[in-house]
Structure 1
Amino acid sequence: MSNDTRDIVEELLRRIAEGDHDRTAELFAEPIDWQLDWPAEGHPAVPWIRPRSSRTDVADHFRSLEAHHVPELNGTSVTRILVDGAHAVVFGEIVQTVRDGGTAYTSPFALHLTVEDGLVTLYHIYEDSLTVARALSAQA
């Protein structure tokens, strides 16, 4: 596999879309600089939003997302990938449907990644976490 930043980012996005959580996690360095932390203190409706640092944590993140959503109704899309050396930013829109109750939601996102030696060392995602939490809280 290539160590090129764009190639690794595209492979990461492909694996995430395929739903192979363990293969997705293999693309991450340990420890990983992970940021998906609003609300920082956690929220019972969105258990995947918490600190992560290992490949096991990464695989758990994607499993938890899948457990709370209907994968067949995922309409998440990527609109642009910008690469500058080891850094990449992915822009897109999250379109998900909550498994319990069927509430659909949409959120723009930006994902900042850093790739070093063929592995993702930084994964910071910025999304409308309030919209996500509200959609999942509606099921409580």
Structure 2
Amino acid sequence: MTTYDTVQELLRRIGEGDVERIAELFAEKSDWRFNWPAEGHPSVPWIRPRSSRSDVAEHFRMLGSYHVPELNGTTVTRILVDGDDAVVLGDISQTVAATGLSYTSPFALHLTVTDGLITRYHIYEDSLTVARAHSGSATA
């Protein structure tokens, strides 16, 4: 598969919510990064360092358990590809299971695909909005 094909397949699998099939698209070891300076924040425990395929499955499993899947959505506005690298731009809309609060955050996802597998997953989003929705307060 090309880089673009792999990105499209990742987005499709994320939309379906099948965490094991999402993880299959990742190399056994990968470089994960979040724009979160608040690693370990109690409201968002899925935000932590990751590096293995099993970490990928755990991340998406946890992310799903903290949200109401049928009330969530992602809008992709652009996919840019340059060789092995891709950038996905869009908006994430989620509803928090514990608080019932909904939020929307713009995001940028930088991926690298090597030999058909994802080796880099760096996501940038509005972490303050996410933390506020999960903590149920106006301040995180």
The TM-score with structure 1 as length reference comes to 0.94
Between the aligned partners of 1:73 and 1:134, the Cα distance in structure 2 is 18
Shift of 1:39: 2.9
Corresponding residue of 1:6: 4
Match of 1:77 in 2: 75
State how 1:50-69 maps to structure 2 within 5 Å. Answer: 50-69=48-67
SS in 2 for 1:76: strand
| 1:37 Cα deviation after fit | 5.1
Output one character per residue of 1:28-81: Cα deviation in whole Å (capped at 9) or x when no partner. 012110002513432010011100011110001001111000000012111110
Question: Aligned AA for 1:77?
Answer: T
- Give the conservation status (yes or no) of the 8 Å contact 1:39–1:49: no
Matched to 1:61, the amino acid is H
Cα RMSD between the aligned structures?
Answer: 1.1
- Residue 26 of structure 1 is matched in structure 2 by 24
CA contact (8 A) 2:99 2:133 kept: no
Which whole-Å CA distance do the structure 2 matches of 1:5 and 1:129 have between them?
Answer: 27
Instruction: Structure 2 unaligned segments of length 5 or more: list them.
Output: none
- 4+ residue runs over 3 A deviation: none
Aligned residues with identical type, % of pairs: 72
Q: Could you tell me how far apart the structure 2 residues matched to 1:37 and 1:75 are?
A: 21
Match of 1:92 in 2: 90
**2:23·2:54 contact (CA, 8 Å) conserved in 1?**
yes
SS at match of 2:58: helix
In the alignment, structure 1 segments of 5+ residues that lack a partner are none
CA distance in 1, matches of 2:74, 2:5: 20
1:92/1:109 contact within 8 Å kept: yes
1:119 aligned to 2:117?
A: yes
Conserved in 2, the CA contact under 8 Å of 1:29 and 1:55? yes
What SS class does the counterpart of residue 17 from structure 1 fall into? helix
